[in-house]
Structure 1
Amino acid sequence: MSKRIVICSKEGRKVEKHLGHCNEYLLYVIDGKEVIEKRKLSEPEKVHGGVLKLMLEEKIDVVITCNLSSGVYNSLKERGIKVIIGVTGENEQVLNKYIAGELTSGSEEDFVHTYISHEHPTK
């Protein structure tokens, strides 16, 4: 049985530090220990629920990222999508760890963020 995995990336090389800032969603379809498909997904709509909508349309089983908001995290989990958080590193190394069963998720306390307002901080 195959699994559809998305790595939230920046420039296609590394796991992005925050799902909301990634500019590439890389899909890997895994069958056993073999990658049978790899492609970049279209960018989700920049609206509430855009990421969730894309993951549901693509029938994603697992999302791999570092940090994300509690709203997105909970929405994905509620729909049966496994979310692996606290992940850093090169995409291919992360994927290989996942396939080998060596990729572990960080704690929600450290990597899932709740925003009191919907305003994003400015630099």
Structure 2
Amino acid sequence: MKIAIPTRNNVVDSHFGHCESYTVYQVDEHNQIVHTETVPSPQGCGCKSNIGAVLQQKGVSVLLAGNMGDGALNVLNRHGIKVYRGCSGDVMEVAKTYLAGGIGDSGLSCSHHGDDGHECQH
């Protein structure tokens, strides 16, 4: 299994579509992290980028995110990636918490407004 986390300065980026990169953890059959990879973030909004296809090609099946809009959520789901929103903190700790069964989806989405606004409202 592979888990991806939108990352900025080693913490979960609060907005999926604007992260610096994605930290991808490969997990073995014992739920132990065995490999870490950094995937550069494409330019532009997450819902309009090719990040869903890129992560799918890398074998990612789970994405642990801070916030994202419904467009990005739909793109990732169409690529077979299960999304858990509402994550925050150090990416390694978030991954370990998920693997221990301690993370569920917050169900909260960002709403885009204005011509280029990406403010999150909950």
TM-score bracket, shorter-length normalisation: 0.7 to 0.9
1:121 aligns with 2:117: yes
Q: Percent identity?
A: 23
TM-score normalized by structure 1? 0.82
What code does the residue aligned with 2:87 have? V
Structure 1 partner of 2:87: 87
Pair 44,58 (structure 1): closer, same or farther in 2 beyond 3 Å: farther
Partners in 1 of 2:117 and 2:71 — Cα distance?
17
Partners in 2 of 1:22 and 1:79 — Cα distance?
19
After superposition, the CA RMSD in angstroms is 2.1
Deviations 1:1-41 (A, max 9, x none): xx110011102x11010001210100100012211110101
Partners in 1 of 2:4 and 2:102 — Cα distance?
17
Name the count of aligned residue pairs. 116
Pair 121,114 (structure 1): closer, same or farther in 2 beyond 3 Å: closer
Deviations 1:21-68 (A, max 9, x none): 210100100012211110101333547232212212212101111111
Unaligned runs of 5+ in 2: none
Partners in 2 of 1:87 and 1:43 — Cα distance?
18
Structure 1 partner of 2:37: 39
TM-score normalized by structure 2? 0.83
Partners in 1 of 2:97 and 2:89 — Cα distance?
11
Q: Secondary structure at the match of 2:33?
A: strand
Contact map agreement 1:8 1:64 (CA 8 A) in 2: yes
Q: Structure 1 segments of 4 or more deviating over 6 A? A: none
Partners in 2 of 1:27 and 1:5 — Cα distance?
5
Partners in 2 of 1:60 and 1:4 — Cα distance?
5
Unaligned runs of 5+ in 1: none
Contact map agreement 1:44 1:54 (CA 8 A) in 2: no
User: Which of 27, 30, 47 is the matching residue for 1:30?
Assistant: 27
Partners in 1 of 2:112 and 2:90 — Cα distance?
28
User: Which of 4, 9, 12 is the matching residue for 1:6?
Assistant: 4
Deviations 1:62-94 (A, max 9, x none): 111111121110111123210010111111211
